[in-house]
Amino acid sequence: MNFELNEDHVMMRKMVRDFAEAEAAPGAEERDEKEEFPVELWKKCGELGLAGVTFPEEYNGVGADYISYAITVEELSRVDPSLGVTVSAHSSLCANPIYLFGTEEQKQKYLSPLASGEKMGAFGLTEPMAGSDASGTRTTAVKQGNEYILNGTKLFITNGYYADTYVVTAQMDKSKGNRGIAAFIVEKGTPGFSFGKKEKKMGIRSSATYELILEDVHIPVENLLSEEGKGFKVAMTTLDYGRIGIASQALGIAQGAYEQALKYSKERSQFGKTLSEFQVTQFKLADMAIQIEAARLLVYQAAAIATAHNVPVSKYSAMAKVFASETANKVATQAVQILGGYGYTRDYPAERFMRDAKITEIYEGTSEIQRIVVAASILKD
């Protein structure tokens, strides 16, 4: 068993960290305040290959492993969790299902420009009545000649409005429940495809979250992803891998919040001593560091499994996500506590990390759903 990152991973971490600190950190606070999507940063991410880390070179990807991807999202999220989820949702939720389930033509047409970062991707699964329970999907798809006609509303779509390519699920036969669902590739600009309200969120405020509206959207049959009735499978597999992205985002949030608290504890003096000289602070910092290391091992383990495909990734990515996201929340809350009154102000990024952390326990499967996935897996074994 080898716990060391290889030379590539070390170099990638340094590159993404240098990039994030120099380019993403300076404006992160302002983008959060103004709820401003990082359009320019996204372009730079594309130029550096961060939009297609795990995809093969033949589709303009980098051809690296999932640990490289985890490091990418972790390091971006360490300074700007909104940018982290932009890259994660694009890669894990749009490019990846096209890579895993797409035909050669679909990969050439859609995956290649996504992996290069020329185009941005998003995923439309959630609906007003279908959150954790995808069988509540009410968006419909009807086949007519060599087209499908889609109607419905999708909710909480990360990268919505800014993304060019959307993987969307729709119900084709309600009597079949989950087995009636199909997944489709929908291009922005298709007549009838529009955006509803932009969500005002507690955290990840510079990530764009929109409602998608589909009104008689005609798409060619070639844009069916996988087969009719296999949409639920497409979505669940997508989320099995996607959790690694969110777990990495949570890990980066925890790391960023912890570093902030560590630094502050050495600078701030009260009662004639720095905070770091008080045992009560030391124990807090120690607990933060222990949880982060444990989370990191779980996240990288899930990433290693996603690369090796030796065992199903589902249980491990669920474990990694639930642990890393709960770690992010504990650590970010403790970081605000260590910074005290200053931690509660927007003068320090601690409060931003605390607000950003919460969503990691909710999106791409709540912590409760992750536990269901883990329990189902261990009870089946």
Partner 1 sequence: MNILVCMKQTFDTEAKIALDASGKIDKTGVNLVINPYDEFAIEEGLRLKEKFGGEVVLLSLGGQSVETSLRTGLAMGADRAVLVNDPALADADECVAADVLAKAVADIPYDIILAGRIAVDDGSAQVSVRLAEALQIPSVSSILKLDVEGETATVTREIDGGTELIEVSLPAVFTAQKGLNEARYPSMAGIMKAKKKEIKPLTLADLGLDVPAAKATVAKYSLPSPRSGGKVIPGEPADAAKELARLLREEAKAL
Q: Does 67 bind partner 1 (CB under 8 A)?
A: no
The Cα 69–Cα 210 span in angstroms is: 25
Among 21, 30, 33, 47, binds partner 1 (CB under 8 A): 47
Task: Give the one residue of 28, 50, 120, 298 binding partner 1; rule: CB under 8 A.
Answer: 50
AA letter at 126: T
Q: Which of 31, 38, 41, 49 binds partner 1 (CB under 8 A)?
A: 49
CA distance 231 to 225: 8
Distance set, CA 66 to CA 71, 83, 123, 242, 328 (Å): 8, 18, 20, 11, 21
The piece of 3-11, 188-196, 354-362, 364-372 that touches partner 1 (CB under 8 A) is: 3-11
Q: How far is the CB of 23 from partner 1 (least distance, A)?
A: 9
x-marked contacts with partner 1 along 4-43 as a string, rule CB under 8 A: ---xx-xxx-xx--xx------------------------
* Four-residue CA torsion sign, 17, 18, 20, 21: positive
Q: How many residues bind partner 1 (CB under 8 A)?
A: 20
Q: Catalytic site residue 211? A: no
CA nearest 182: which of 217, 229, 143? 229
Residue 327 contacts by C-beta under 8 Å, 6 or more apart in sequence? Answer: 250, 251, 254, 291, 292, 294, 295
Question: Exactly one of 53, 204, 250, 338 binds partner 1 (CB under 8 A); which one?
Answer: 53
Query: In angstroms, rounded to a whole number, what is the distance separating the alpha carbons of residues 246 and 124?
Result: 17
Catalytic hit among 57, 74, 364, 368: 364
Segment near partner 1 (CB under 8 A); pick from 26-34, 49-57, 257-265, 353-361: 49-57
- Residue 14 or 266 with smaller CB distance to partner 1: 14
| Contact of 330 with 291, CB cutoff 8 Å | yes
Which residues of the shown chain bind partner 1 in the complex (CB under 8 A)?
A: 7-8, 10-12, 14-15, 18-19, 47-50, 53, 57, 62-64, 68, 72
| Active site residue ranges | 364
